[in-house]
Amino acid sequence: MSRVYNFSAGPAVLPLEVLQQAQNEMVEYPGLGMSIMETSHRGKVYAALQAEAEANLRELMGIPADYAVLFLQGGASLQFGMVPMNLLLPGQVADYTNSGAWGEKAIEDARRIGQVHVAADCGADIPTRVPRIAELQLSDNAAYVHITSNETISGAQWKEFPRTEAPLVADMSSDILSRPIEVRDFGLIYAGAQKNLGPSGVTIVIIRKDIAERVPASVPVMLKYRTHIKSDSLYNTPPCFSVYMLNLITRWVKEQGVDKLFAQNRAKAALIYDAIDKSGGFYRGTALPECRSDMNVTFRLPTEELESSFASEAAAADLKNLKGHRSVGGIRASIYNAFPVAGVEALVAFMQDFQTRNG
């Protein structure tokens, strides 16, 4: 086996032991005589898997009983539309913060549904950042307040969440389960799986049940949260294999512990940021220090040519997928829960060697 260090922003690295268990159970799930991908989503085996996945998420995140946990499809991108379709009633306004590419996409879709007020806009700021709580200009009686907890492209992350009178809605696609949070501070949390929860295909929605009831009658049945709450996420065929993988991931997270992973995530990120800060300006972090993401470390080199050489030479050294997002360039090291410490140490050593040869 010659696995590389995969710094991809998503789909992203998965725990090796989870991949190996899935490999062992791919053809024949224990006691089933067939693959989990072949069995009915209405059967007892799949029902038990999904129930365990939900129970694990509830335990890991401290999700209260008056919140529903949904297993949906369409990624976070579908949630950009579903959130306002369900929560933004005619005559109301929704508050959004724009901290980058994903916050901006959420705003664009919400404006197709109803009235949007941008409570803070730092999406174009360089260095990148998320809004400061003190600068939020929230509306009176807003339907909800939307934030993006971690901007995967820019590498900026909320370190403290605002407390709002309106339900707080968060896109947590790239940092869910990477740190402890208080679910009660939110009305709705959503996350695509392909960062910390497993492979792509399933989207987690955690929603306070009472706000799911406000949905306008005109919303199509499949796009109502209430539909999926009532049917236990089985209104139509769910992404069974993705839920199976998410279940394995949540078992792994339980073994590790969220607090332990949080400490490890901060330590991993600190190693790279320290190398950046001690490079004498050869490497330049793109996010304000107080907003630096623990999940996506973004930085620049003196020239785009050097950035291209850095990414290609790193790939040849089995440090893969370090090229920054096509919209911003630069370098991006995504180091989610499952990314090993040894991989971060290898990157730091490569950074130091590359600077010695090119600085």
Residues with a known catalytic role: 102, 171, 195
Cis peptide before 127 (omega within 30 of 0): yes
Contact 5, 333 (CB under 8 A): no
Strand locations in 10-162 (E): 67-72, 93-98, 115-121, 145-148, 150-151, 156-157
Contact 359, 315 (CB under 8 A): no
Whole-angstrom Cα distance, residue 257 to residue 140?
39
Closest-CA residue to 318 (of 298, 349, 346)? 346
Amino acid letter, residue 274: D
User: What is the DSSP secondary-structure string of 99-132?
Assistant: -SHHHHHHHHHHHHHSEEEEEEE-TT-SSB----
Contact 138, 191 (CB under 8 A): no
User: Given CA atoms 248, 202, 267, 254 in this order, what sign does their dihedral have?
Assistant: negative
Query: How many Å separate Cα 33 from the centre of its chain?
Result: 34
